[in-house]
Structure 1
């Protein structure tokens, strides 16, 4: 962080300040220290070696998502949660989610994410505009960015089109959306390859979103 409270971006780009993009939607640049980013990248790599590796998700209409994903905790597929839990959401990641809400809102809201979607953006990958509507809970979504810089498009609740705002997300950034903005359409139309710090050990972009599903499991 610089002396004036702003966060430096990549060389040649302007500094960035914390901002409320819309009511309930908070962007905190540079929230994760670099050493912490490296630890999370290593964890994401280890999860990918587990029983549910990264894969391209097939949509109900037969389309294939360009990102590769894995899911911790309650398992998700388009567009529903399964009555099955994979590798549990680790306690340290739950703690990070609660700390993120304290940073964004001043309180952790008792946040207990039971699912974490990890998306990997390789060459040419993007994410179309969508809503996170499969959850019964209205708890906020916590989003952590690692690796390459991207354009994060934050729209409106009614349509996938305008009005929307484009926000640069850089490795280490936190973005929380809840309250009035919980059901807003959002997506990633562009990733800038090769913009990650080489010392991070990551080629591409990783995004982790923590959520509360609010859905019971059978037998509980």
Structure 2
């Protein structure tokens, strides 16, 4: 049973040929009662047996100490979730390099900043996910080349002003096929909208009246 009020250290290196000794010494110098260490464990993996054992050993009133934040994990979200769990269990936290100590007002403020960044990261991920779903279901993504009022104007130019499809496309800076599709979807799929350019229809100049 871990005594009440003591600190437990956690150290980690990503590869088996890295040395844990410098982290151990720093944690013992910081007053840790014991040090748990994972060797050859990436911060991206969730299988860290010694960290799990350390978290099980921690009791209310204890403090978890690391030499720096990335020893606990690489993602801000995962880090904040872990620190939230410690807070719920009434376990304090210290990071020696970053100077974070949740037993002090400054440390709690620093933790609040980290939590805010993690929340922003979650919101960005949620927004990207929703945007991806919208594109996948055809309800979002790239905006249409022609807005409804552009289609109405194109129809007016075609019907009333007798502009050619090429000239209308040049006006709206889109392709001829885009104009054809827009007018077809607008219910004008008659002659001249079928998407086949008549052989006898010369390309109309940019200015001047339609021939």
Query: Normalization by structure 2: what TM-score?
Result: 0.24
Q: Which has the higher strand share?
A: 1
Query: Normalization by structure 1: what TM-score?
Result: 0.23
Structure with the larger RCO, 1 or 2 (CA within 8 Å, 6+ apart): 1
